[in-house]
Chains A and B, each alone.
Chain A
């Protein structure tokens, strides 16, 4: 394993920051130029990110130190396979979401588009910073920037409901930020460093109870963005945001940042060995199992399509952590892969919800009867996404769930296998009626629906993500060695034991 010094991680973060400045200085005067900046930045960012993939796959680590923040901690990027995985995921989906966003905001003639694209670009910068962070403090810096940058997107509609959702979001995430900060400072005062190391760096520092306390506050802190119950309330409320925001941020960037933070804490700060020693992994697994089951029940009860998707997101985020909490090779591999797989599938589902809204202004599931005749392609993509989430082959959700199921068996904890299976059944229960009703039921008001699809700017992105979900299910490595990245990460973490 070599450490390669390269400025690329910094560029990947900065490119969107520059784009944000360009977007705001272009403004409403020239919409096409403004959107050009978004697209250009997203493509540049993605190319910078993938240009680093081959190096990472060879087992190298890419490092770049910007400045020393405090003795022992620098503002530093260090990319390994897990960070790379998240980086590729977020930067690729941003390209697609950008195209979709442009279609969405123009079809609906949204207000404050400049602010929208500006905040979006900032969010992506922050996400990339989180993915590439080399230590807890760097991660935290970008994590907090992400919190603040997402806020304008949540209150975007500026209705009373949206403003309240924004406040709720801030209350949850800023409080969580303080918990994380406290945890980080405790770690720093115990260990004198916060540098991530595969397999953890905390063993041998501090008393067992102190470490347990730190683990609990860090997981609770990151768990807010990962929407673990009972800290999930902000996510369904934030569904009031425009759909592309829900799609990218509330299915990929923001919530996955929370999950990514948890993964870093579990695998890179504490590490499997220490978690076994402290008996924390079982506690964590039971804690997220609760979320898995209960969020499934909640999802069944939602009529608003986006809210149902939100609860399904909560469910899947908890599944990822459960897989990782098994601390076995398959469990971790499956968990990391599910982070990506779920990203593609869930973004498809959200894109569909947005396409339906733009075309018909319908938000509730009960109004969707027969819509499959009007928008067959869109609903077809929905069916693919839903099958994937439920873990039905050949969509990629199957692979990740398979590995996570193996993980539960490797850890000799059959309970969690049942949790996974029950949740898969609930996935079917809350998604399949939608598919059935939209294709086979007659519309309520007896209008004959003609083929009338969403605009191309929206249709093409959602088809692409649906197709990639299938491709990843058949050839998990097809997309920039996605699966290999996940398994190298798992290997390194457990190899560090």
Chain B
């Protein structure tokens, strides 16, 4: 059983996805407990996988007994075991959360929603677990197709946003596929470990260079790195709450993982850093992305749209760490995969809860919200502080390592960018907090009749995931030293 864990992580949600319509056909209400069960099992398997990796080192799982490079191999090391745990638990949180909001937003389509939800998770998990370039493409497409459909079921404007995403996403996927094709032409292999062995002799080849460029650009498109982000704001904003809670935290993180894999495992770091200095280019692009996202977020009056732009800025953080290409920078990125997934998941859940209860997203309408939804708003404050980077929340530690990495690389501009972006985030979140908490009064101190507002907290099935994600934000901050010393330091490619 334990040796099958890597494949079960993917198989369980995949099979369950196809069973969901059958169950829903019989009894609609059973779908929700069923997917929770499926995702819990899958999360359990990913924890087992991580523990096995910590005990015995890299796991090689050969699909159907075919040996690599001919068969598909699942290769799990510290890096993807870590990302697997993050992905499976964030999706479990999103699933628990989705119940009420799906009932409200998509009452007719719950069964299909849950089917697609599971397929989406399958895609994410598959991308992370696989050790085969083409298999990765397959899962990338499963994730994307499920994503297009999930976004399109949203409200007004969602189909168009989803169509735009579909066009851009397909371009990205095609780029990736082209890249894989070129690599196959040059080497005759699709297995990552095999490619890593074969490629160094071919680093001079134009085909390999083209393949590398296609791969990086394709992945950058999928993760919405500036300036390839055009599709993201509309798509994630228009999507139903329970969909953006799943997609926003995970799609970008999974893509960041793929980028690290391609740049530092499939290709040797010295290729990506010296022969073909992508890392330098990426770090500058990332710097622009960070500032662009934060600035655009400043211009938004709608909380969800503001979060979407903050997400773009967070993508910048992830890529910046990759671009810095040193130990501290990569520690920052990998830590930020966890931290940001947790923060974004909490934030999108909070927006969803506010929409569910009050139907508002305009920040200026948030007056007195702290009386109506005290726990939700308290969570918003804590997670907001984490995005700003106030210690001891987890966002601070991502910044800490990224700034350290920038100093190690003597990239002083990046240090400035990171500090500036913290301040911009501070404006963003303190503005929201100010609206939600301050009840304007006149000089005599008589305020609005705020006491009359009754408490209308989000339902428990929403509140519990929100609070656990918020607790995660604080815990992962305090435990960051432990997380790094037990997992992340081994997840960084060996030569750093």
Contacts and interface: CB of A to CB of B under 8 A. Distances in A.
Contacts of B397: 69-70
B227 interface: no
Contacts of A110: 445
- Give the one of B407, B439, B442 with max A CB within 10 A: B407
B407 A186 contact: yes
A69 B419 contact: no
B415 A170 contact: no
A160 interface: yes
Contacts of A51: none
Contacts of B447: 111, 158
B481 A67 contact: yes
A178 B485 contact: no
A111 B445 contact: yes
B485 A71 contact: yes
Interface stretch (B228-236, B258-266, B302-310, B384-392): B384-392
A163 B434 contact: yes
Contacts of B400: 70, 181, 185
A137 B392 CA distance: 10
Interface string A216-253: 00000000000000000000000000000000000000
Nearest to B448: A158
A158 B403 contact: no
Interface string B325-365: 00000000000000000000000000000000000000000
B413 interface: no
A47 interface: no
Contacts of A155: 434, 438
B438 A69 contact: no
A395 B451 CA distance: 47
Contact of B482 (A68, A111, A163, A188): A68
Interface stretch (A138-146, A305-313, A349-357, A436-444): A138-146
B108 interface: no
A178 B443 CA distance: 34
Contact of B440 (A68, A75, A160, A166): A160
Contact of A182 (B388, B390, B415, B478): B415
Given A157-B445, A163-B440, A182 B403 contact: yes
A189 B408 contact: yes
A68 B403 contact: no
Interface string A75-118: 10000000000000000000000000000000000110000000
A178 B484 CA distance: 24
A175 interface: yes
Interface string A125-152: 0000000000001001100110110001
A174 interface: yes
Contact of A159 (B430, B441, B481): B441
Interface string A33-76: 00000000000000000000000000000000001111100110
B443 A67 contact: no
A185 B485 contact: no
A178 B404 CA distance: 14
Contacts of A186: 407
B442 to A, nearest CB: 7
A144 B479 CA distance: 18
A144 B388 CA distance: 11
Interface in B375-410: 385, 388, 390-392, 397, 399-401, 403-404, 407-408
B426 interface: yes
B470 interface: no
Nearest to B391: A141
B438 A158 contact: yes
Given A75-B478, A157-B445, A144 B390 contact: yes
A13 B347 CA distance: 29
B430 A170 contact: yes
Interface in A176-190: 177-178, 181-182, 185-186, 188-189
4 pairs of A and B residues whose beta carbons are closest in the complex: A141-B391, A68-B481, A158-B441, A69-B481
12 contacts: A67-B479, A67-B481, A68-B481, A69-B480, A70-B400, A70-B484, A144-B391, A157-B441, A157-B445, A166-B434, A170-B430, A189-B407
Interface of B: 385, 388, 390-392, 397, 399-401, 403-404, 407-408, 415, 419, 422-423, 426, 430, 434, 437-443, 445, 447, 478-482, 484-485
Given A158-B440, A182-B419, 19 more contacts: A67-B481, A74-B481, A75-B478, A110-B445, A141-B391, A147-B390, A158-B439, A158-B447, A159-B442, A160-B440, A174-B426, A175-B423, A177-B390, A178-B422, A178-B423, A181-B400, A181-B403, A188-B404, A189-B407
